[in-house]
Each structure stands twice: as C-alpha cells, then as structure tokens.
Structure 1
C-alpha cells in the first residue's frame, strides 16, 4: 500500500468547536498510527463567510491540541490557477460543457418538476450528445460549466464507517463545477486538491456523504481512483441536537482558557466515536498505537460535560507537575495575581501541584486552590466564629509558637501539631480546622502538615495571629 496521506479541510466560516475538531483528530491519529502524512487545507472559497479570525482559531486550536500537520496549511483561494488549468483540460476532453440556462429558467424547471412530484434537478438541456441539436446560444450570457455525470450504472464505495454505499447515477444531475465568472465550485476543488495532495484516506463528517458520489465520478472522469472514505457520524450536544454554534457549542480554544489539559480533550474526543475495547482513559501515545478505522462507531456521539470533567480529572491526576506548574502560573497571570519571582519553575510550586491536583479537573481549579499561597485569604466570618473558640484558641496560639522554631518540613510540622493536641487534650479536627481557615481560607484541604510545609513560615505565622 502507498504511504497513508490524510487531510483535515475545514471551512473558516465560523469558529471551530469540538464536533469539528474531531474530524481533525481522527485523520491525524490515523496518519500517525501508519507513519503517514497529515495535510491541513483551508477551504476558503466561500469568500463572503470566510474570515481570518476563523482561520486563526483553527490553527490555534490544532496547535493547542498537538494536532501537528506535516504539510500546509494550503488555501484554496491561492490555488485558483490550478483549478482553472484542470477545468480547461476537462473542457478539451469533453468532460464538461457550457450551460446557458439562466437561474430564472432553472427555477421554473424545478417548480414544474416539483408540481409533477419529480425530484428537482437540471434536465441536461445544454448537455451535448451525438445527434442532439442544442438551443441557440443567448447573447451576453456567461455560461456555467457542468460536469458530464455518467448516465448509467451506479457509484459504489465501501465506506469504512457506514459499509457499502451505492447511489444510482440517475439520482445525480450534471453538477455545476464553474460559475459564470469562471470560479470553480466546492466539489470540483476538493477533487483537484485530493489528487494533487495524493490523499489516500478521506475521514470526514457524514454531512459530506451526498458529495461523495459526485466527487468519485469526477475522480474517475480524470482517470484516477478515489481515496478510501470514512464518514463519521454527527456529534450531538447534550440536548441531542447537532453540535453547532447555534446550539451552544463553544470554540475549541475556550476549553484551553477554561483550563482543560489538551491530552484530556484528545482522550475525550477520541472516545466520542471510536473505541479500543473498554479503555476509557489513555495517553496520546496509546491512541496513536491503537487507532484504526475498523473501530469507528456507526452511531452519533453525544457530548457529555460531566464525562468530559471525569476524563479531565483522570488526566490531572497523572499530569506532569512541571507542566501543571507552568499552566498554573499562566492562569494566575491571566487573573492578575502577582506571582512571586522565585515561584515559577520551582520545586515548591511543583510540590503544590502534586498535592492538590487530585482535587481538580482543570488548571483553573488548580490555580484557584493554590491561590492561597500567593494571595491573601479570608475565611467566612461565620465559619471562623463556629470553629475558633475559647476551647481551642490557646491551642492555636501554642501551635504558632512551636511552628516559629521547628524545622520547616512536613514531619516537624506534624510533630508540632501532635504535641499541641497532647498538651491541650484536643482532637485533630479541633485544631486543624481553625488552622486551615486562618491560613488557607477554607476548611477543606489535603493533610494540614503537608499544606503548611509549602507556605513560607512567616506567612503561616502572620495568618495564625490573624
């Protein structure tokens, strides 16, 4: 088999959401699994709706998710000369023909067909056939170019998701492949691109199934075999509607801003239409090792925020602490927190991440937890009044005295706590909870000795004095 070459070919007519980016993840994973080539192509021929902003979000989202392309990005608007060159070749070969039917005539034809309960379609008025007399060419009318679709037989392909698909050629009319001004149309451009870029596998959404028989016929007219197709079922939102901007989908980059790890999004998206047995949590490397087209699902995947958060939590638990510490600093800077100069990149910050990451699904949540180390805290007055009273206030003061002189590590802090509890005849929660409220601003933290050890001693003593 020739080298696997896949592509992702988005239209920059709106921001890219999770449902769109899955159509990049699968061809990327398939190319990587087969030591192939992954091509990025921007299909920007819809000039009115395409925007540079949408292109930027595509590039930014793919970069964040680590979906690196080997070739491209190629822009269709920059390839117009190539499309026109192929159009001229097809004209010379009699594969396309000029059609002078006006849009008014075409609309009237369709209305008649619908009134007769027929499928509305172009009727081949201007299609040249042996022995056929064409109407006189109207003056001053720029024709469209139509592709001479085969008239008999069927288009058949073995779809890697949907199985065998067969469409009768009688269902397909002669497709417009160039507009009156000479600009080529979508289905034609796609075929030329896939040929020039030597694409072997087209993995895309099943909203393209209707385009596929037309594209296959153009491939064959040009004397080429089409690629292998895999049409992915739609991604639905939580309400069961097709995921779209209109139905509340978020740009991919928003998940980055919300603090999700890229590997967690890749893992979640991969499972939204593909499986490897019962494996739910896997690394990017495992995805590449396992990925094939035989285990793509046939039914629509449904987005589930709770499941995404669960997957994200599993990835946070095993995430590299150095990576997390970098992301936490970025989150702090975004929210305007002054980060002490000695903290970024330090072992201490990595230890903070290691201690708290099990409690989090995102780096935003982790940065919020670790905010106690870099910004002032204040527990609720009611909670503090309920937990700090005449029975334990002397113990907290005594603990502060001990902490002023002990070695500043977890074991020594634990020993100081133990001695204080013994001295006052109290249980751990009676001292640990008020200490947490004063130092951390919350009663819920990991082990109090581990949490305190990562503070500067002076900050702990100042907060205990309150």
Structure 2
C-alpha cells in the first residue's frame, strides 16, 4: 500500500505568479491525491527587497481558478502554521545556532563591495574555482575587523566540506550529479534566512515527504542534502521537473514572454481546464493512448513519476489554443454564457445587464464553433449590444457591396416587413424569395449588404439567426439606416 505523501509548492510573492507555479502545483497535487496525502501551499517571502504585497493574493486567486486547491496554506491554516516564512523567523534561529556550535557554519563580515570585487577578480582571472574565499572562516569579529572590506552586520555561511557529496537520487531522473557549491549564506544580515536554510527547515518541520521542483534547483540540491545531514535530519524524496522552454529552447521568463505570467492566461480568456491539460501534456504523455483531453481525476488515477519526460518541453501556444477551443465547444450554451460573463467581469471590460445576458445566451451557440478564446466573444457579438443608430461600418465593407446593393436592401426591407413569425427559418425563406429568386442574385452576393447593414461588418455570426436575436424592429431600423448611406 502506498504511504500518503505530503508535498508542497512554495512560490515567492515577488510579482505576477509564474506559470511554473501552476505547473509544479499540478504535479505535486496529482501525487498527493494519488497517495491519499496532502498538498501544502507555503509562501516563501524572505526576499523582502523584491516582495510585492498583492502578489500573494494573485497566487491564491490563480491557483484556485485552476482548481489546484491545497489542503494547508496561509489562507486555510493547518497543523504546521504559519505557512508564510516571514511568520516563522524565530523557527530558524535555533537551527542556525546548532550549525554555528557544531562548526558547520560561521559568521561572515565581508561587505558587499568586497564580495563584488572578489567576483570581478575571479572572472578576470578565469578562475577554475569561484565563489566565496572563506576570508572570515575561523576569525573572530575583532580579527576580521582589522582587514579591509569589513561590515558591521554579519551574515552566517554554511561550511561546505571538501568531500561534500555531489550526487543524489532523483525519483524522475535516477542518479544525478550536481556542481560543487561554495559556502552559501544561510542567514542574512537582516535576520531573515535565505532560501537554502528556510526550505530545509520548513520542509522538515512541515513533514514534507517529497520535494518536487524545477530542474534549475538541481545545482542547489547538494547544499540542501548537506544541511539535512549537518542538522541530523532525513531528507525528503527529491524530484526535478523539466524546465518550460520557449520555442527557441530558452527558459520561459516573465521578462521575455507574457505567457510566463500566470494571470496572462486568464486575461486572454483561456479556460482553466484547458490550461491544466496543457501543462500536464508538456511533461507527461496523454492519459489514454492518443487522447490528449482527459480529466484531472483520470490524470491522478494513472499517475506515475516514471512517465515524466525530462526533455525540456516547448511552450507551444498553438496547442493550448486548440485545447481551449475543444473545451469551449464541449460547454452547453448556459455554461459558455457563464464563462464569458465571468471572463469579462474579471477583466472589467464589460458588465452586462440581465437583458444582455439573456441575449448572450441566445447568441453564444452562434459563435461557439469558431471561438478560441473567451475574450473573442464580445468583438464577435458587439453588434447585438450596440444601439441601432450607433452601429459603425467597417472600413472594408465595400468588398461586400456592388451595384445591386441598393436594390437588395430595398427588396429585403419590404420582404421583412411582411414576415409573420420572426424566427430564422421564416426570415431566411422571405429573403431568399425576395432577393435570390426575385432579383436573381446569388446568395453570396445577395446577403453581403444585409450582413453589413445589420452588423456593420462583412464577417459575422450566421445572418438569419442574428436577425432573429435582434428582433424585427432593430433589424429593419439598421437596414433602413444603411440603405440611406448608399
């Protein structure tokens, strides 16, 4: 029987959440659910210089939107609270003292200027061994103060032994070798722990059994394993997921790619289930054969770390667009309407009235097949929510017009005035009889001017259904107005 696992995702609130936070959350949550364990959200906010207060709420909102919900976290509590590192500062000091007493750590009084100069010297000399040179190791404060580059407020560094093990077992990659670390700072001058110490202490105290993170942390893993050993603790199982990459194989970053921002997907109008499936497929095969669309529950049921592909996945938005279109087409008219209204409420771009929501419900099926993003809905249907005398005609409407256009409009207006039942079959029948048969004009040419008059555009949802939704009065008012312009 599988032992229930405890996994966590630990984002830093330094700006818009990275899409990698959702990517890691998806796989951590899947294994937690597979084993009947727990998924923990921890906020790692020890980097106070880059801390952005509203970023934490963005983490909560975007992960909840994706339904990647946690069992323990800052907003729900849990037996190991607090789940913010800034609320755990007193927790770390005893571990620092233990390392100082055992000789596995030491105070460093080197100024930032001295450290910068040291890095520049090593780069200029193309030194084979770089990093901190241990100037402070073994010295008292007074001894170090007599040397150049002294700072009144020391940091604490871990002492990395020469024989430090650089290999570790990875549950995805097998035996992994990492580069040798230098003497890392574990406690900053402001009293806040660095990531390296805090992550080890927190994972231990919170009972985390599996640490699943991006492969960029492979180089830090020997430090973490060493800290566990120095503190007399058992390290968790380790797994390093492949990095998400741009189409040019570079690491996806918020500076270069807007899609690295997790909130971007919601702003654009992607469905959460489409993004979840997309992130799963980046590093994991389809759940069933060639069927790429599957539920999260199906993903969990067959979850196996051995199936994770370690080759850096390419972040191809065309694939996401296809998935999003698929999920949109699987919605009912009511569900699609709700999603569209919810999207525009989130972006603040449109707040429809109850009557407009009802109109949207009738119009949603007309655009569903061609909709890729929820944000495309309003541009496609804007004509329905625009007053008749405010319809603007697109610059390219001349392509839909010809010498017959005035006659087409005159015949259509007369025919529509006499339609008894205002529904799309009756509207279509009347227009075909009056314009196609009556004037002998092909449908493609016959209905172009009518489409422009009703919607203001050459391209629109199905014409007769649009007229039905608009109603007789608005349809005729628009056609008469357009006729006057010809």
Give the Cα–Cα distance (whole angstroms) in 2 for the partners of residues 137 and 311 of structure 1. Answer: 61
Contact 1:98/1:143, CA 8 A, preserved across alignment: no
Contact 1:340/1:374, CA 8 A, preserved across alignment: no
Contact 2:416/2:427, CA 8 A, preserved across alignment: no
Cα gap change, 1:392/1:102 in structure 2, threshold over 3 Å: closer, same or farther?
closer
Asked whether 1:41 is paired with 2:42, we answer: yes
Cα gap change, 1:86/1:409 in structure 2, threshold over 3 Å: closer, same or farther?
same
Structure 1 residue 81: Cα displacement: 0.6
Q: Among residues 83, 96, 104, which one is paired with 1:96 in the alignment? A: 104
Structure 1 residue 217: Cα displacement: 1.9
Q: Among residues 215, 226, 236, which one is paired with 2:224 in the alignment? A: 215
Aligned to 2:305: 293
- Gapped runs of 5+ residues in structure 1? 128-133
Asked whether 1:271 is paired with 2:278, we answer: no
Q: Among residues 179, 189, 210, which one is paired with 1:201 in the alignment? A: 210
Structure 1 residue 197: Cα displacement: 1.7
Cα gap change, 1:442/1:138 in structure 2, threshold over 3 Å: closer, same or farther?
same
Q: Among residues 308, 313, 316, which one is paired with 2:325 in the alignment? A: 313
Aligned to 1:131: none
> Residue deviations 1:308-330, cap 9 Å, x none?
32222222211343232134335
Secondary structure of the 1:46 match is coil
Cα gap change, 1:435/1:283 in structure 2, threshold over 3 Å: closer, same or farther?
farther
Structure 1 residue 191: Cα displacement: 0.5
Contact 1:62/1:68, CA 8 A, preserved across alignment: yes
Contact 1:40/1:69, CA 8 A, preserved across alignment: yes
Give the Cα–Cα distance (whole angstroms) in 2 for the partners of residues 275 and 362 of structure 1. Answer: 25
Contact 1:241/1:247, CA 8 A, preserved across alignment: no
Give the Cα–Cα distance (whole angstroms) in 1 for the partners of residues 126 and 323 of structure 2. Answer: 55
Deviates more, 1:3-12 or 1:241-250: 241-250
Secondary structure of the 1:236 match is coil
Give the Cα–Cα distance (whole angstroms) in 2 for the partners of residues 340 and 427 of structure 1. Answer: 39
Contact 2:3/2:35, CA 8 A, preserved across alignment: no
Contact 1:17/1:249, CA 8 A, preserved across alignment: no
Contact 1:5/1:39, CA 8 A, preserved across alignment: yes
> Residue deviations 1:197-240, cap 9 Å, x none?
21122221111111111111222333332222221222222443
Cα RMSD after superposing both structures: 3.3
Asked whether 1:329 is paired with 2:341, we answer: yes
Q: Among residues 425, 437, 455, which one is paired with 1:440 in the alignment? A: 455
What's the TM-score once normalised by structure 2's chain length?
A: 0.81
Secondary structure of the 1:209 match is helix
Contact 1:154/1:166, CA 8 A, preserved across alignment: no
Q: Among residues 367, 378, 396, which one is paired with 1:356 in the alignment? A: 367
Structure 1 residue 394: Cα displacement: 4.0
Cα gap change, 1:281/1:388 in structure 2, threshold over 3 Å: closer, same or farther?
farther
Q: Among residues 389, 392, 399, which one is paired with 2:405 in the alignment? A: 389
Contact 2:363/2:469, CA 8 A, preserved across alignment: yes
Deviates more, 1:331-340 or 1:225-234: 331-340
Give the Cα–Cα distance (whole angstroms) in 2 for the partners of residues 256 and 387 of structure 1. Answer: 46
What's the TM-score once normalised by structure 1's chain length?
A: 0.84
Structure 1 residue 370: Cα displacement: 1.7
Matches within 5 A, 1:155-234: 155-167=166-178, 171-180=180-189, 182-234=191-243
Matches within 5 A, 1:231-246: 231-246=240-255
Aligned to 1:341: 354
Cα gap change, 1:293/1:402 in structure 2, threshold over 3 Å: closer, same or farther?
farther
Cα gap change, 1:43/1:285 in structure 2, threshold over 3 Å: closer, same or farther?
same
Secondary structure of the 1:192 match is helix
- Gapped runs of 5+ residues in structure 2? 75-82, 146-151, 482-486
Secondary structure of the 1:44 match is coil
Give the Cα–Cα distance (whole angstroms) in 2 for the partners of residues 255 and 57 of structure 1. Answer: 13
Cα gap change, 1:447/1:48 in structure 2, threshold over 3 Å: closer, same or farther?
closer
Deviates more, 1:184-193 or 1:426-435: 426-435
Give the Cα–Cα distance (whole angstroms) in 1 for the partners of residues 277 and 18 of structure 2. Answer: 16
> Residue deviations 1:120-159, cap 9 Å, x none?
35566777xxxxxx55652676654444545546354322
Contact 1:158/1:165, CA 8 A, preserved across alignment: yes
Secondary structure of the 1:282 match is coil
Secondary structure of the 2:73 match is strand
Cα gap change, 1:36/1:321 in structure 2, threshold over 3 Å: closer, same or farther?
farther
> Residue deviations 1:394-448, cap 9 Å, x none?
4312331233x22x33333344345434454444334333322222223334543
Q: Among residues 440, 443, 446, which one is paired with 1:431 in the alignment? A: 446
Aligned to 2:417: 401
Contact 2:186/2:194, CA 8 A, preserved across alignment: yes
Contact 1:316/1:360, CA 8 A, preserved across alignment: yes
Aligned to 2:77: none
Cα gap change, 1:97/1:159 in structure 2, threshold over 3 Å: closer, same or farther?
closer
